[in-house]
Amino acid sequence: MMRSVGYGMAVLAFVVAGTVTATPGAAQTVPPVDALREQFGRELPLLWRLDSFTLVPAASLATAPAEIKDAAAKETPANPAEKPVIQPFTAVVSLGTATYTVDSQRGPFTLLRPVAEQGTRKTLSGLAKSVQRDGRWTTRFGIQNNFALDTIGQPLDRFPGRTIVTGTPDATRLLAELDQSARQQTEAEAEIQRQLQEGLDRQMAAIRAEAQRIAADRAVIDQRAAALADLKRQLLEGDRTVRIATLEAALNGKDTALRAMAYSTALTGRDPVVANLALRSFLAQKKSLPVQLFATREVKDSESVLHNLGPLTLTIDRFDPLSGNLEGKMGAPGYSIALPGSAFGYLAQTELNVNTYGCTLQLRLSDVETLDGMFRCQTLPTLIARITLD
């Protein structure tokens, strides 16, 4: 392969090209130009074709420029009688096929941008250094502007996958289809979100309307203590509809004391539906929950596992108040089986179940405003688990 040389610079580099055979019985002072042309054409990169090769008459070393003398001196032949012939040349080459480069990526398609058309011509210039040994010429070519062949791109068949050339009708059609598909997907997702929001708004509106109706039927609470007592009574007594509406009104209100009383009463009451709504409100407001772990005396090594496991944390990335589904991360740093990872769970009535790879957290609402249960991993002893609802 040829490499670039600085023509006219202080140092010239030559690359071994090949051997040219002289005509038998003839005393030739320069190698045959046809043979040089054929040899130069063979050494071109595969994308290029030789159109013309012009060789300037050979110059003797005595009259050559100083930089050529220096280059020749560094490559003194083994036989001092062998005198190199150094000749400037000019070659015109053309691309055998059109070339391209990557413009962008759209889905499974690679968009290509044209770089050069088939037949694009470049002019190369350099020096040919020839030495005759035993009637055979050995020639080396040095190219001054080899960079002219760089950044020329690649043929179409060199690019893997599904390709298409920008600016073509196919590319225009494809981009339009991809844009339309993206718009349709965005519109579909927006419609799903709108419908979900409308459903949530209707449910919340119905609860607010019920709470307003109940509030209108009751006398205004004059004293603070009476207000708290009345709220607790409504959450513990009456039908379920009243309890739900009362809880929703208290949790959505701005009265901190009423919210705390409603929350505590709902969690410690006997109505699982009301407790479930309180738990959903709690989970919807939390982003991270520390899980307390305790050893079980009956299980061997649970104390050691508890000490090495480290703090267990449940991170909530998304909680759907309607379905009770939960998404997030759960884990502790102590063991590989329990390392933090993606977690999925759900709240069913007053039970919270969360699963991650190899581990499960199962909790149930207690009478003391906690979620109590077990933390189990495939290769670890079972531990007692608790989440404090504060």
What mean pLDDT value characterizes the chain? 80
pLDDT of residue 82: 66
Regarding pTM above 0.85, the answer is no
Q: 282 φ, ψ to 5°? A: -60, -50
C-alpha distances out from residue 29 to 45, 130, 365, Å: 30, 10, 105
User: Within 13 Å of residue 104, how many CA atoms lie on the same side as its CB?
Assistant: 6
3 state SS of 237? coil
Name the band, by pLDDT with cuts 50, 70 and 90, for residue 204. confident
Distance CA 120, CA 330 (A): 62
Distance, CA of 295 to chain centre: 42
**In this predicted model, what pLDDT tens digit does every residue of 105-145 receive, in sequence order?**
887 888 888 988 888 888 888 888 888 887 788 888 888 87
Tell me the CATH number of domain 286-388, given options 2.40.128, 2.60.120, 1.25.40, 3.30.60: 2.40.128
User: What number is the average pLDDT over the span 34-39?
Assistant: 88
Instruction: Summarize the confidence of residues 319-348 as an average pLDDT.
Output: 92
CB atoms within 10 A of CB 329: 15
28 pLDDT tier (thresholds 50, 70, 90): low
Query: Which residue type, as a one-letter code, is found at position 359?
Result: C
Domain spans of the chain, in order of start: 15-163, 182-283, 286-388
Q: Can you tell me the distance from the alpha carbon of 288 to that of 157, in angstroms, rounded to the nearest whole number?
A: 53
Pick the closest to residue 52 from 5, 88, 89 (CA basis). Answer: 89
The Cα–Cα gap between 201 and 20 comes to 90
